[in-house]
Amino acid sequence: MGLQVCVEVVMLTNVNVKILFHFVLQKETPLANAAFWAARRGNLALLRLLLNSGRVDVDCRDSHGTTLLMVASYAGHIDCVKELVLQGADINLQRESGTTALFFAAQQGHNDVVRFLFEFGASTEFRTKDGGTALLAASQYGHMRVVETLLKHGANIHDQLYDGATALFLAAQGGYLDVIRLLLSSGAKVNQPRQDGTAPLWIASQMGHSEVVRVMLLRGADRDAARNDGTTALLKAANKGYNDVIKELLKFSPTLGILKNGTSALHAAVLSGNIKTVRLLLEAGADPALRNKANELPAELTKNEHILRLLRSKEGHRKS
């Protein structure tokens, strides 16, 4: 690639002359770097010129195994993606991490790129080193249209990361209600936990996503499902002071007593110092006379006078 081609590119595009000469004239910079720059920036004219020069392999890789198609797919430059595919790019090559062009497009929410890649044989089967798939990535980032497209093209609704997290779990963690509804209507298991026992309802409660909690409960989520450490959705919400979540959980009569980990939601709420949370639990029937595994009453975990009055009042009513 010489100065004549350089002048041609400048005439065809708005590429900065200094940037282009940096790629062309510095001996230590291969022409492939210029192609990566063009794919990243969406500079179709430069990318096409470099590919047509015969001096840049359409499947050239960087030090991490990234291809031009991966870069263009990540950035959402559909014209560059089409050019690369039509010039023979291998759609299903994997980076060192296991990611593919489809994974990147799905992760970033570029549904037009995802649809195009499927037209030319993109596969949903490839996994990253942590077990990630295009469906898991799209669900994690809340890209509902992409999730829909992936499912229509055979993506497995039951895909899991190697730690057991499902697409539904990841969507619940992010609070993406539209994705959650789509996954549930497509057959996702509402109670499928991670390996540590964390269910989608638990993670949604911890993150404070009350609408997600409501939908999951209505779709059959186990209100008392506990992690391996014994904590439940209600205990986590009480600990965090997420009262809207607690209200949704209380509609389904969760356990208010001592859990397998030796404490209760009321103990957690008192420790967190959230007066409204304590009141909610007491009104729902939580017993202030229950002792945790350390033989402590909820009242022994706080010096907050307002909370202490609430606890004493409830205890007085219980005795009477």
Q: What is the residue-wise DSSP string for 77-142?
A: -HHHHHHHHHTT--TT---TTS--HHHHHHHHT-HHHHHHHHHTT--S----TTS--HHHHHHHTT
Percent of the chain residues past pLDDT 70, beyond the cut: 89
Q: Does 13 score more than 80 pLDDT? A: no
State residue 210 phi and psi, 5-degree precision: -65, -40
- Boundary (domain end) residue, out of 255, 280, 299: 255
Q: Does 76 score more than 80 pLDDT? A: yes
**30 and 23 Cβ atoms separated by less than 8 Å:** no
Q: Report yes or no on 319 lying in a domain.
A: yes
Measured distance CA(55)–CA(167) in Å, rounded: 42
Q: What CATH number does residue 7 fall under?
A: 1.25.40.20
The pTM score is 0.89
Q: How many domains does the chain have?
A: 3
Are 185 and 232 within one domain? yes
Are 221 and 262 within one domain? no
Measured distance CA(136)–CA(125) in Å, rounded: 12
Q: CA dist 81 to 47, 69, 123, 165, 198, Å?
A: 10, 6, 16, 31, 39
Average pLDDT over residues 278-283: 97
Instruction: Measure the CA angle with vertex 274, ends 266 and 248; round to 5°.
Output: 65
Q: Report yes or no on 138 lying in a domain.
A: no
The predicted-structure confidence for 134-145, as pLDDT tens digits, reads as follows: 999 999 999 999
b/e string for 21-37 if b means 16 or more Cβ within 10 A?
eebbeeeeeeebbbbbb
Are 34 and 11 within one domain? yes
The domain of 40 spans 1-97
Are 191 and 272 within one domain? no
Comparison of pLDDT for 23 and 305, the residue scoring more = 305
Instruction: Measure the CA angle with vertex 15, ends 110 and 91; round to 5°.
Output: 35
Are 300 and 234 within one domain? no
Measured distance CA(142)–CA(172) in Å, rounded: 10
The predicted pLDDT at position 314 comes to 80
Sign, Cα dihedral of 137, 142, 143, 149: positive
Are 250 and 200 within one domain? yes
Are 207 and 186 within one domain? yes
**269 and 277 Cβ atoms separated by less than 8 Å:** yes
Q: Report yes or no on 195 lying in a domain.
A: yes
The predicted-structure confidence for 238-261, as pLDDT tens digits, reads as follows: 999 999 999 999 999 999 999 999
Q: Report yes or no on 199 lying in a domain.
A: yes
